[in-house]
Amino acid sequence: MPGRPPLPPAFRGHVELRAALRRALERRSLPATVLIYGAPGCGKQSLALWIARTALCTGGSRPCEDCKNCRMALRLEHPDVHWYFPLPRPKGASSPARLADAIEDARHQKLAEFREHPLRYGGGAGVEGIYLAAVHSIRRRAHKRPTAGDQQFFVVGDAERLVPQEASPEAANALLKLLEEPPDGSRFVLTSSRPGALLDTIRSRALPIHLPPLPVSEVAAFLQEERGATPEAAMQAAVLSQGSIGAALGHLDSESTESGQRTRALALLKAAIAQRASSYGAAMEFGPGGARGLLGLMGALQLWLRDLGATSLGCEERVVNTAATDFLRDTAKRLALTPDRAARAVAQVEEARMLALGNVNPQLLISTLLLDLEETLNGRASR
């Protein structure tokens, strides 16, 4: 049909895992609730949707990606595939019914965006949640008969966000009740990159399925074939992604969060190596709120420091920021960096990362960290 957005690319890799899942679905031996866990952006929700297509497909080798069911599911239009994910809390909803409507509207709007841009990587901003109203909507649907066949699928992405900021266990408990006695034909696929943050009672109801990172070569091939990336750019983004297609897409896109964090982390590293005055300036660029947004930045900074450490050891094949080898080589040499100092710097960032999980002032956190790194990297005695 003209004017239709392209179908999302086929699910890649994990051949054995998918063969096992396919067999279980064919025998109807897969439990009604499964939990797919793995690193952010590694394809957990894509696999969850693949499971739904495999079960609903009426073609030959399932999923054929070509029968009516497959195509509807690929277009996120299948009436028996319901996809839920964290959303920002709607503003100004005055009653529970209005809130439920607003959340459902926001979900459909997001689904329309996914349809339009199936490859857009959407890392959550950290303030989104799966609210009680969404769980009620899941429950209402789950108690109805499937529309087309005898099975319907509920994909719940980032399920650990079932308990959002208020720390109210309501949403998680409401889901738990549903999982305890799943209505006939209703199947649940939860995904999480932090399964430890799920309620124990929910975790114990679900069959855990680990989705490991993909080989770097596989991620690079994906970026070349689906995004038209050059072999060099594809390899660079794939190495930085550490086996996650979602993260690799982010690294490929210079406007994305990942690329921005890599650049900001490099600026921090340069500030730490230079003068105290520039450390102070770098710290002041951070707003006083939102320390949790620092987590990705701290991760990017650790990658830079590991690269510096690898360079100082002469192990350049381990460097992930491969476009910056000259800078890394010059810097390691100028600092006369030793492996133990590089390791200490990585540990100092790890400490800052743990602090960023709590409620700390980002400016204070960054300026303290930069002073610590300055001493460590320049080989000066600790305070």
Binding site for Zn ion (CB under 5 A): 57, 59, 63-64, 67, 70
CA distances from 213 to 14, 36, 238, 247, 348 (A): 9, 13, 11, 11, 26
Based on CB atoms, which residue is closest to Zn ion, 25 or 220? 25
Min dist. Cβ of residue 163 to Zn ion (A): 36
Min dist. Cβ of residue 52 to Zn ion (A): 11
The single-letter DSSP state of residue 209 is E
3-state secondary structure of 77: coil
Based on CB atoms, which residue is closest to Zn ion, 59 or 182? 59
CA distances from 10 to 74, 121, 133, 296, 341 (A): 10, 16, 32, 28, 44
Min dist. Cβ of residue 120 to Zn ion (A): 25
The single-letter DSSP state of residue 46 is H
Q: Are 198 and 160 in contact (CB under 8 A)?
A: yes
Min dist. Cβ of residue 36 to Zn ion (A): 21
Based on CB atoms, which residue is closest to Zn ion, 71 or 89? 71
Distance between CA atoms of residues 351 and 192, nearest Å = 24
Long-range contacts, 122-126 (Cβ 8 Å, 24+): 123/40, 123/41, 123/246, 123/250, 123/257, 123/296, 124/86, 124/158, 124/161, 125/88, 125/293, 126/290, 126/292, 126/293
* CA neighbours closer than 13 Å in the CB half-sphere of residue 91: 0
Burial of 184 (0-12, 13-18, 19+ CB in 10 A): exposed
Based on CB atoms, which residue is closest to Zn ion, 56 or 175? 56
Min dist. Cβ of residue 55 to Zn ion (A): 10
Based on CB atoms, which residue is closest to Zn ion, 57 or 342? 57
Min dist. Cβ of residue 62 to Zn ion (A): 6
Q: In which residue are the tokens 């990942």 written? A: 258
CA distances from 186 to 144, 208, 345 (A): 9, 18, 50
Min dist. Cβ of residue 208 to Zn ion (A): 27
Based on CB atoms, which residue is closest to Zn ion, 58 or 165? 58
Which of 225, 248, 223 has the alpha carbon at shortest distance from 237?
A: 248
185's tokens = 């034909």
Based on CB atoms, which residue is closest to Zn ion, 59 or 293? 59
Min dist. Cβ of residue 54 to Zn ion (A): 9
Based on CB atoms, which residue is closest to Zn ion, 55 or 202? 55
Kindly give the residue spans of alpha helices, DSSP state H, lying in 358-381. 362-377
